[in-house]
Every structure is written in structure tokens, then in C-alpha cells.
């Protein structure tokens, strides 16, 4: 059910997101160890286990008893093999009265973290833990009594031990092959995903459970926990980022006291990304969450939310890697316009501020987003920015990159935008007429040429007198430009002749008449 939340929000495409069963081989865990490392004994056994100092702390596995000595032992002998990691009874095999205590014991048992960099090591113990995690997921999903404080604490501890570790990403320097940047590389898959996935599933169902008291839960899922959760969004594994996205969205929805802190923390990540690093793997997932949050904003919009638009979302158009998250960003932007149409002028001016001049692929994306914004724009806001806007559109129409020119001409396929243009034809046509004329005469692409003729016909049929007036002014400007060009060529010819005559001597060449200059305006 929780997956329907993001049903209408654009999702980041990923080659690895469809494969949820296969692990990679490029990242390993660190182990978050507890200060309590008491030796624990198995129920019904008199054997006492000794904790291993170096191998367990290095990531082989450590059991966190948190002062409870009635749980499960864990010994590791000199050969590096666990000899006391035994499975606990299944929930179906114990009476209902013993299930809560068994639940706690299984949580403690699953606080052992194994090293997955060596797939041949501790196979039995890993399978025992996996089965225990599956049972915990089923128990959390079917429990019909409120979670106690002790249970909440143990769940959060177990989840923290397993998921919070130092990410070891591959080097992020741009790799070039024959001068071409490799933008799409295979994501790094975490080899411990067979366990991590079940831990995330457990946590997701725990947070979503109706048996979770939000007032109590916020004491354990606190700001420190949330910050560490946000850090994990930089994981290269798209499967993990998907679970993180759903988990954070659930926390935001259930623990209302943390909402301002979550928004502020995500804003800080965005600011660091835009103005410092331009490197982060989870921007698209953050924007998916924010798209859902923005959709739920009450009207009128708070000043905080408008500042978020101006200071965070609009500057997110600046990084070179915009393509990685543009679909989600565009959704958030259009949500603001639909919430408050008066923001259209602010958004369009923001797009023009960060408009890419030398990156054609980004320019195509900007034009697509611009169309979505204009589709929700009303005439008063359109009139405030139309001069600046169509000066930029005019440059796009004449772009030698056919996709840019073609995308700009596609604006006239949108009925709402055409109506806005028609209402302000006397202002817009003089701005773009020269670009349209040059396209019909000189543009190399036949599709652009045909689309330009269609746009010209719209203006011709709309206001013939204005069209003729613009054509006459264009011809006059072209004539003046031709005179200026001819004068410039004549001057250079004179310079060449004088320079040829003086070539044999070292005399300086003086030209009495100044070079002609094109008048400004």
C-alpha cells in the first residue's frame, strides 16, 4: 500500500533497480559496535562464550546484548568459524505468551553483522540470521498489540547496527574515454543486500505498523537516527535508495514532530550538492519524497515553502548532472505553479537565470520544463516575463543543434501557450520574427525548416498587418547589416593593399579613416 504514495511521482530510472535479488561485489560493511559487549549464554545451556576482540570488531559479527544475558551466545574459534550461533525456536512453535520475549531475543541475535566480502565464510550463520529476519518481518506485520518501549528500542538498535555503516563508493572523478565522458556506469551493488533488504523491510513495516505509538517512537527514531539515515542516501546501490526513500517518507508521515527537521536537513544536503560538490547519488530520491510533500502543502503557501522554491529547487538546475534528477525536479517545480499560479513569473525568471548556453542536452530539458510551467501559467504572470522569455526562445529557434530548435518550435503545439502568445502577439512577434526568417532561409535541418513555416503561418493568419510590418523592418535591418558588412570588407581590403605596399619597408601603416562601427540598437 505504501508504494502507491509515489505512484504519480516520476521515478529515477535505474538498471539495477529491477534486480532485487542479485548483489554486487564492490562494497563491504563496517560494524557499528555497542559499548555493551557482555558475554551472553544460550537459554538452557551452561556454556559461556568468550567475545573475540579483533575479528568481531573488524566486521565478522558482534552480538549486542545491551545488558541482557539471557539471549544467544556467539563464539568464534581460532579458525574464524562460529561454533555457538544457533537458531532460536520459530514463533509458531512457542505459546503466545512467550512470543514477545522471543521477539526480543531474535532482534538481539540479528544484531550480529557478518562480512559479505567473502561469500564462502559463515554460510550456516548467515542463513540462520536470514531466516530469523524473515520471521521478524512476519511477526511485525501480524502483531496485534502496541509495541512497548523496550521493543522499539531493540528494533531501532538492531536496524542501526545493520544499516548504518561507512559507505565505500567508487571514485567519483569523471572518467574519459577518447574525450567522451562516461555518464552511465553500472551502479555499485552492496554484497550484503540479501540481509540488508530484509532489515529495511522490517523497519519499513515497523514504522508503518498501526501498533507503533508515534509519541513514543520519536524518542528512539530521533534526529540523530534521521541524520544517519539521510547519509545513506548517497549509497550507490539503487535498491537501497528505494527502501530509504520509502522509509523516510513513512517517518515523515508518522512522526510529525520531525517534519521541520527532515526538511531542513534535506535542504542542507541540496545546498552542499549545488554550491560545493555536485556529487550525490540520492538527489532524485529526495526529490521524489519532496514531490509528495509539496503535493500536500496547504494553501496559501507558507513563506518557508516559497523560500525553498527560490533558494533550493531553482538552483538545482545549475549542476551539470541535471539529467540524473531532472524529471523529479520538474515535477516539484510544476507542483508549485499548480499550487500558486503567481509563482510562475518567479520560476520562469529562475530558469532563465540558470539557462545553459553551451550544453544542448540541458537546453532541451529546460525547454521541456518551460512548456510544463507555461501550461499552468496565467496571462498576468506571463506578461511580466514574456519579453525576457522570448528573447531566449529566439536564440533557441536559431540554434544549430536541431533538437534545441525543434523543441523550441514545439511550444507552438501547445494550445494554452499559443493562446498566451496570441494575446500578446504585438510584443512577441517582433522579438522572434528575425529568428523565424533566418530559419526559413539558412537552417540546415529540414524538420526545423518545416516547423518554422508552420509557426510563421500562425502569425500570418493572426495579424497580417503586423506580420508585414515585422517583415519590412527585418528587410530594412538586413539591408543596413549588408551595408555595414560591405563597409567592413572594403576597409579590410584597403588595409591589405596598404600593408602590401609597405611590406618592403619597416614603416608603420596609418589609416586615416576609422573603421565603421555598427550602431548600437
pLDDT digits (tens, 9 = 90+) for 324-355: 999 999 999 999 999 999 999 999 999 999 99
C-alpha cell at 37: 559487549
Domain of 488, in residue numbers: 474-501
211 domain-assigned:
yes
Percent of the chain with pLDDT strictly greater than 70: 76
Q: Which helix (H) or strand (E) holds 134?
A: helix 123-142
Confidence of residue 50 (pLDDT cuts 50, 70, 90): very low
What count of Cα atoms within 13 Å lies in the side-chain half-sphere of residue 332?
Answer: 28
Query: In this predicted structure, what is the pLDDT of residue 485?
Result: 86
Confidence of residue 84 (pLDDT cuts 50, 70, 90): low
136 domain-assigned:
yes
Query: In this predicted structure, what is the pLDDT of residue 513?
Result: 55
Residue showing cell 567475545: 51
What is the spatial distance between Cα 38 and Cα 161, in angstroms, rounded to a whole number? 16
Question: Which residue, among 295, 364, 362, 288, has the nearest Cα to 329 in the 3D structure?
Answer: 288
234 domain-assigned:
no
495 domain-assigned:
yes
What is the spatial distance between Cα 113 and Cα 125, in angstroms, rounded to a whole number? 10
Long-range contacts of 123-128, Cβ-Cβ distance < 8 Å, separation of 24 or more: 124/82, 124/85, 125/61, 125/82, 125/85, 126/194, 126/195, 128/85, 128/86, 128/87
Residue pair 122/114 in contact (Cβ under 8 Å)? The answer is: yes
Confidence of residue 479 (pLDDT cuts 50, 70, 90): confident
Higher pLDDT among residues 187 and 248, named by residue: 248
Q: What mean pLDDT comes out for the span 279-287?
A: 96
Query: In this predicted structure, what is the pLDDT of residue 9?
Result: 58
Higher pLDDT among residues 475 and 167, named by residue: 475
Average pLDDT for the chain: 81
Q: Cα dist. 200→206, 403, 474, 518 in Å?
A: 10, 43, 65, 68
The per-residue pLDDT for range 143-159, each reduced to its tens digit, is 888 999 999 999 999 99
212 domain-assigned:
yes
285 domain-assigned:
no
Q: Which residues contact 226 (CB under 8 A, 6 or more apart)?
A: 248, 251, 258, 261, 262, 265
Q: What mean pLDDT comes out for the span 119-125?
A: 83
144 domain-assigned:
yes
521 domain-assigned:
no
Q: Count how many domains the chain has.
A: 2
Amino acid at each position: 500500500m505504501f508504494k502507491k504514495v509515489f505512484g504519480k511521482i516520476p521515478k529515477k530510472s535505474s538498471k539495477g533497480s529491477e534486480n532485487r535479488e542479485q548483489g554486487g561485489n564492490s562494497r563491504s560493511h563496517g560494524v557499528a559496535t555497542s559499548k555493551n559487549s557482555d558475554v551472553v549464554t544460550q537459554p538452557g545451556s551452561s556454556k559461556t562464550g568468550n567475545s573475540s576482540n579483533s575479528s568481531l570488531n573488524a566486521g565478522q559479527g558482534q552480538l549486542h546484548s545491551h545488558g541482557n544475558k539471557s539471549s544467544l551466545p556467539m563464539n568464534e574459534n581460532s579458525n574464524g568459524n562460529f561454533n555457538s550461533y544457533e537458531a532460536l525456536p520459530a514463533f509458531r512453535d512457542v505459546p503466545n505468551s512467550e512470543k514477545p520475549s522471543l521477539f526480543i531475543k531474535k532482534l538481539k541475535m540479528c544484531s550480529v553483522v557478518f562480512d559479505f566480502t567473502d561469500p564462502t565464510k559463515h554460510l550456516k550463520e548467515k542463513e540462520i540470521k536470514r531466516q530469523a529476519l524473515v520471521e521478524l518481518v512476519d511477526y511485525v506485520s501480524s502483531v496485534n498489540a502496541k509495541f512497548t518501549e523496550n521493543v522499539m528500542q531493540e528494533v531501532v538498535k538492531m536496524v542501526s547496527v545493520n544499516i548504518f555503516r561507512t559507505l565505500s563508493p567508487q571514485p567519483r572523478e569523471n572518467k574519459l574515454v577518447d574525450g567522451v565522458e562516461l555518464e552511465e556506469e553500472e551502479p555499485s551493488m552492496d554484497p550484503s543486500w540479501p540481509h540488508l533488504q530484509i532489515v529495511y523491510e522490517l523497519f519499513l513495516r515497523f514504522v508503518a505498523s498501526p501498533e507503533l505509538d508515534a509519541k513514543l517512537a520519536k524518542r528512539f527514531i530521533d534526529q540523530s537516527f534521521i541524520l544517519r539515515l539521510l547519509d545513506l542516501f548517497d549509497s550507490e546501490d539503487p535498491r537501497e535508495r528505494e527502501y530509504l526513500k520509502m522509509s523516510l517518507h513513512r517517518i515523515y508521515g508518522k512522526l510529525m514532530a520531525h517534519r521541520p527537521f527532515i526538511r531542513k536537513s534535506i535542504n542542507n544536503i541540496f545546498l552542499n550538492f549545488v554550491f560545493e560538490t555536485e556529487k550525490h547519488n540520492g538527489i532524485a530520491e529526495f526529490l521524489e519524497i519532496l514531490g509528495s510533500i509539496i503535493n500536500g502543502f496547504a494553501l496559501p503557501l507558507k513563506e518557508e515553502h516559497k523560500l525553498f522554491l527560490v533558494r533550493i529547487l531553482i538552483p538545482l538546475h545549475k549542476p551539470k548532472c541535471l539529467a540524473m534528477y531532472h524529471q523529479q525536479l520538474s515535477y516539484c517545480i510544476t507542483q508549485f505553479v499548480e499550487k500558486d499560479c503567481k509563482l510562475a513569473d518567479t520560476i520562469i525568471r529562475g530558469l532563465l537565470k540558470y539557462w545553459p548556453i553551451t550544453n544542448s542536452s540541458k537546453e532541451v530539458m529546460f525547454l521541456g520544463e518551460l512548456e510544463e510551467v507555461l501550461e499552468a501559467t496565467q496571462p498576468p504572470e506571463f506578461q511580466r516575463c514574456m519579453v525576457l522569455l522570448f528573447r531566449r526562445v529566439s536564440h533557441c529557434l536559431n540554434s544549430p543543434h536541431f533538437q534545441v530548435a525543434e523543441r523550441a518550435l514545439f511550444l507552438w503545439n501547445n494550445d494554452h501557450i499559443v493562446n498566451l502568445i496570441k494575446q500578446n502577439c504585438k510584443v512577441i512577434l517582433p522579438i522572434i520574427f528575425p529568428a523565424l526568417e533566418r530559419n526559413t532561409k539558412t537552417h540546415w535541418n529540414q524538420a526545423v525548416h518545416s516547423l518554422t513555416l508552420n509557426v510563421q503561418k500562425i502569425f500570418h493568419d493572426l495579424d497580417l498587418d503586423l506580420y508585414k510590418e515585422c517583415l519590412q523592418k527585418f528587410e530594412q535591418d538586413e539591408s543596413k547589416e549588408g551595408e555595414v558588412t560591405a563597409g567592413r570588407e572594403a576597409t579590410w581590403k584597403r588595409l591589405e593593399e596598404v600593408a602590401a605596399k609597405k611590406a618592403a619597408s619597416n614603416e608603420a601603416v596609418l589609416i586615416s579613416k576609422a573603421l565603421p562601427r555598427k550602431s548600437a540598437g
